[in-house]
Amino acid sequence: MINLFSDTQTKPSAAMRKAMLEAEVGDEQRGEDPTVNELCERVADLLGKEAAVFLPSGTMCNEIALLVHCRPGDEILCDRTSHILNYEAGGPAALAGAVMTPIDGERGIYSAEQLKAAIRPEHRYGPRTRVVEIENTANMGGGRIWPMQTLNAVTDVAKENGLIVHLDGARLMNAVVASEISAKDYAAGSDTAWIDFSKGLGAPVGAALAGSKDFIEEAWRWKQRLGGAMRQAGIIAAAGLYSLDHHIPLLAADNENAKIFAERIANSTRFAIDPTTVDTNIVIFELANGEDAQVFCNRLEIEAGVRIGAIGPSTLRAVTHLDVNKKSVVAAAELLLLMS
């Protein structure tokens, strides 16, 4: 089986498990776990923020950040394809009580002009626009990287309008490796930002959310309240540290392999994909002749042993990661091309 379903499907390597086994631990929620503390310092530093908090998932990073930033009735502006709007079970509405207003960006990326047009003037009839949310890379945009110029223009408009900027950096390190722009530079215009250890970085669990000291204090209150405060969490934080130490450069191969996959399948008119749009490790493509994506995926898995995802009626998504090398990715593309 060649598994290109998601970069969340990686299994921790023997070396990562060894690091977990040997981790120094303590009571995390009392601030006494040295491995968690080290990981938080590393991530705060990486993202150029004062402090960070370790959380069980990226979803909890988004939800807690939005809980701190919003009061009920406040408005979050985000791209229509964003994770917070589509894949967090309505969390920002259910938990923060926030209204999410989608902006129709281009493959996950909207412009400063679009943002400007979406910001509501202060008026007691409307929800109060509070947060601007950015996803970099844009997952459902096909792993698209925000161009620095667009990003700066958007965060400038947010600042001019007194809005808070939150960066969903689940796959920010894929963008860093592909563009050679630092995570700190990508996060500079954001008040809060986070990275996931359980995506391309290959850890089994965990994410870390960064921001000002005051913000992290408030985030801790929600972590406690939601049951995200842990005990000897150094066991899992060690995997995060290991991934930062060893796996960041490996993301370059994931990005290259995704491009190779896209180039190969573009040779068939059955698949509609422009390989030049593949910025990082996600390939979103269409079945050009109206075939059903889920049926195709099921057949591909059973008949060819390749697993990818159906994300729309005729839309497919393949994601490269640590546990598939170039040879497997090329083989997977060949198997797609051979499907009857």
Ligand X SMILES: *Cc1c(COP(=O)(O)O)cnc(C)c1O
Binding site for ligand X (CB under 6 A): 57-59, 62, 83, 135, 139, 168, 170, 196, 198-199, 207
The least CB distance from residue 327 to ligand X, in Å, is 26
Backbone angles phi, psi at 147, to 5 degrees: -60, 140
Closest CA to 8 of 83, 64, 85, 92: 83
The least CB distance from residue 266 to ligand X, in Å, is 24
The least CB distance from residue 289 to ligand X, in Å, is 29
The least CB distance from residue 268 to ligand X, in Å, is 28
Cβ closer to ligand X: 170 or 278?
A: 170
Cβ closer to ligand X: 82 or 179?
A: 82
The least CB distance from residue 209 to ligand X, in Å, is 11
The tokens for 292 are 């059903």
* DSSP-assigned states of every residue in 238-260: HHHHHHHHHTTTTHHHHHHHHHH
The tokens for 329 are 């990715």
Could you identify the residue written with the tokens 């995802």?
Answer: 309
Cβ closer to ligand X: 53 or 336?
A: 53
- Rounded to whole angstroms, the Cα distance separating 211 from 159 reads 16
Specify the 3-state DSSP secondary structure of 271. Answer: strand
DSSP 8-state assignment for residue 234: H
Cβ closer to ligand X: 40 or 207?
A: 207
DSSP 8-state assignment for residue 121: P
Cβ closer to ligand X: 62 or 280?
A: 62
Cβ closer to ligand X: 227 or 290?
A: 227
Q: Is 294 exposed, middle or buried (0-12, 13-18, 19+ CB in 10 A)?
A: middle
The least CB distance from residue 83 to ligand X, in Å, is 3
CA angle, 267 then 139 then 274, to 5°: 20
Cβ closer to ligand X: 199 or 264?
A: 199
* DSSP-assigned states of every residue in 98-111: -EEEEE--BTTB--
Q: How far, in whole angstroms, is CA 45 from its chain's centroid?
A: 19
The least CB distance from residue 176 to ligand X, in Å, is 15
